[in-house]
Structure 1
Amino acid sequence: MLASDYEFDAAEVRRQASVIARQADHMDALLDDLNLSFRLRADALPLTRESVDLIELVRELAVELANDPRSEGREVVFVEPAGGGVLTAEVDSSMLRRSVMNILVNAAIHNPAGTTITTTLGRSGASAYLEIADDGVGMTAETRGRLFDRYYRGTSTGADVAGTGLGMAIAKQIIDAHGGAIDVSSASGQGTTVRLTLPLLSS
């Protein structure tokens, strides 16, 4: 406890202000995630669907992650569908971007520098799939089984890893709302692959 007559010098004031600002940003993010998660669970967030080129959307997000400070030291690779072509789906672009970005950031912040994060798009019948794979630390069976639980942060998540514990739950809720599916394969020391599938727009 500080004495009542203690005076902070200018450097201490700046440090304290920085801490308060970070805490405020974290609370804003938490409230935003809580609001979105509850609205998705209650089907109270109508999707604004439009025809979206999934290749361009995922390419843009891969570039965004590569330039995000949270992925510093990680390599981000984007792999287009084999054989070219287009993958068009009727989705809420803003919500889908949020879902995919949550997964990409999760791969970055839970793995060390030197990890490669690869996004691969493809077609399987009437659906598109997106695989987000990393060659990082992998997950325990417990973490893999609870990855999409609200507030769960994993058995190996350090205290220095910022987050609300809602990112992956929200990612799944958004994919579910689009009639898609999401699953994960991982093992400790063997990296992680998250696979999303979404129905394609009928030609």
Structure 2
Amino acid sequence: MILDNNGCVIWDENMPDDLPRQYSLQDVASFSHWYLEDYPVSTWNRDDGLLVVGYEAGSLWKSRITFDADYVAPLFYCCIGIFLANIIIVILLFFHNTRKLEKSIKPILKGIQQLSKGKPVHIDESGKLSEIKAGLNKAGDYLMKKDNTRAVWIRGISHDIRTPLSIILAYASEMEETPTLPEKTRKQAGIILRQSEKLKNLVSDLNLTTKLEYSMQAICKQNIDAVELARQVISGILNDGMSDQHDIEFHEEQPGKAIQLNGDNLLLQRMLGNLIRNSIVHNPSGCTIKFSIGIHDNSCVFVVSDNGHGMSETQLNALNSNEDISSSQNSEDDTEHGLGLKIVSQIVKAHQGSIQFVETIPHGLTVKILLPMK
């Protein structure tokens, strides 16, 4: 409705019949702030009068709030302060909880790293993420139990094989050297002898790799002349009787210069011997083996290379990633690289050294070993 200056209704639309058609100044002052007969209303000034818009009863709630000006500014700043304080509290709680979570996660991450290295794991299961910690402990216990079972099984099998194998070797050697036996029988005895020796070496390799893997092999370190060590290994292989199809070339990068190592003499002999024999065994048609020794960045460098068949890229990547590769036989009855090179890598690791397997150009295998000097 529109009221004129006298308070009379001069226009209306949908106006309830129970509302009066004229209002005093007191009425206008009242319903401007509150209600008009329980109807919430709003007012606007117009050139032709006062426009009053009403709404259904109970549809709006009207309130009049009055503040002392002296309290408005402090109240405003107080609200801002409370708001900022809440934000600061939320941030502090966030960082506090994050730190607690990081503190709980840190031993879990450390435990996972230990498991990846095959080491035992035991984490305090109290606090947050206790279920994950308990699961990690169970996984660690299971893996350690499994590894121990495997190590015990290998040791037991090796021990059980050793006695009958010694008997086979003794009788086969005796039969091969008995002149009264037929030639065919002596040849068969020689084959049995050679295959038994391979089996004996395999048992020895299994025992050694198991001990190295589970840190059960004692490392008896002593001062070693690396050049003399290399010469002894090469002489031993030559004295064992090497095929005329194979040739070993020895080279000193710094002739006459002493290269001293601190390591286990027997293990280092086994390491170098395995490398040379690996080239011989896996290249039965013959190859040239180059053995060099030198010094680089206060490290003793052994390089053994051959111009034989070499290895596939997959096998090279597996060896350089410290992964196991197959040691089975292929269709041509040639054994693949496997356990012998794994033992070499384990011995290098036990002496805090590094090893790299690369392809010899145009074909063959090159193995580079760096061991810290004394």
Q: Which category describes the TM-score, using the shorter chain as reference length?
A: 0.7 to 0.9
> How much has 1:166 moved relative to structure 2?
1.5
Structure 2, unmatched stretches of 5+, are: 1-180
Which of 270, 286, 297 is equivalent to 1:125? 297
Deviates more, 1:165-174 or 1:50-59: 165-174
Give SS of 1:169's match: helix
Query: Are the equivalent residues in 2 in contact too, given 1:146–1:152 (CA < 8 A)?
Result: no
Pick 1 or 2: higher relative contact order, CA cutoff 8 A, min separation 6. 1
Matched residue count? 192
Q: TM-score, normalised by structure 2?
A: 0.46
Query: Are the equivalent residues in 1 in contact too, given 2:282–2:337 (CA < 8 A)?
Result: no
In structure 1, C-alpha distance between the alignment counterparts of 2:352 and 2:235, rounded to whole Å: 26
Code of the residue aligned with 1:190 in structure 2: it is H
Query: Are the equivalent residues in 2 in contact too, given 1:115–1:134 (CA < 8 A)?
Result: yes
The equivalent of 1:143 in structure 2 is: 315
The equivalent of 1:176 in structure 2 is: 349
The equivalent of 1:200 in structure 2 is: 373
The equivalent of 2:235 in structure 1 is: 63
Distance 1:153 1:125, change over 3 A: same
Distance 1:18 1:36, change over 3 A: same
Distance 1:103 1:44, change over 3 A: same
1:43 maps to 2:215: yes
In structure 2, C-alpha distance between the alignment counterparts of 1:118 and 1:10, rounded to whole Å: 42
- Percentage identity across aligned positions? 29
> How much has 1:113 moved relative to structure 2?
4.7
Q: TM-score, normalised by structure 1?
A: 0.81
In structure 2, C-alpha distance between the alignment counterparts of 1:75 and 1:65, rounded to whole Å: 11
User: Could you give the per-residue CA deviations for residues 97-121 of structure 1, whole angstroms, max 9, x where no partner exists?
Assistant: 0011000111122225552211111
Give SS of 1:107's match: helix
Distance 1:22 1:151, change over 3 A: farther
Which of 353, 356, 363 is equivalent to 1:190? 363
Code of the residue aligned with 2:333 in structure 1: it is A
In structure 2, C-alpha distance between the alignment counterparts of 1:123 and 1:88, rounded to whole Å: 10
In structure 1, C-alpha distance between the alignment counterparts of 2:331 and 2:257, rounded to whole Å: 39
Give SS of 2:248's match: strand
> How much has 1:133 moved relative to structure 2?
1.2
User: How do 1:67-146 residues align onto structure 2 when only pairs under 5 Å count?
Assistant: 67-82=239-254, 84-113=256-285, 115-146=287-318
Deviates more, 1:192-201 or 1:164-173: 164-173
Relative to total residues, which structure has the larger helix share, 1 or 2? Answer: 2
> How much has 1:90 moved relative to structure 2?
0.4
Distance 1:18 1:178, change over 3 A: same
1:152 maps to 2:355: no
> How much has 1:183 moved relative to structure 2?
0.9
Query: Are the equivalent residues in 1 in contact too, given 2:306–2:360 (CA < 8 A)?
Result: no
Distance 1:73 1:20, change over 3 A: closer
Give SS of 1:22's match: helix
Code of the residue aligned with 2:268 in structure 1: it is L
> How much has 1:93 moved relative to structure 2?
0.4
The equivalent of 2:6 in structure 1 is: none
In structure 1, C-alpha distance between the alignment counterparts of 2:186 and 2:262, rounded to whole Å: 48
Deviates more, 1:22-31 or 1:90-99: 22-31
> How much has 1:29 moved relative to structure 2?
1.7
1:17 maps to 2:189: yes
Larger-Rg structure: 2
In structure 2, C-alpha distance between the alignment counterparts of 1:82 and 1:174, rounded to whole Å: 25
In structure 2, C-alpha distance between the alignment counterparts of 1:27 and 1:155, rounded to whole Å: 14
Distance 1:115 1:17, change over 3 A: closer
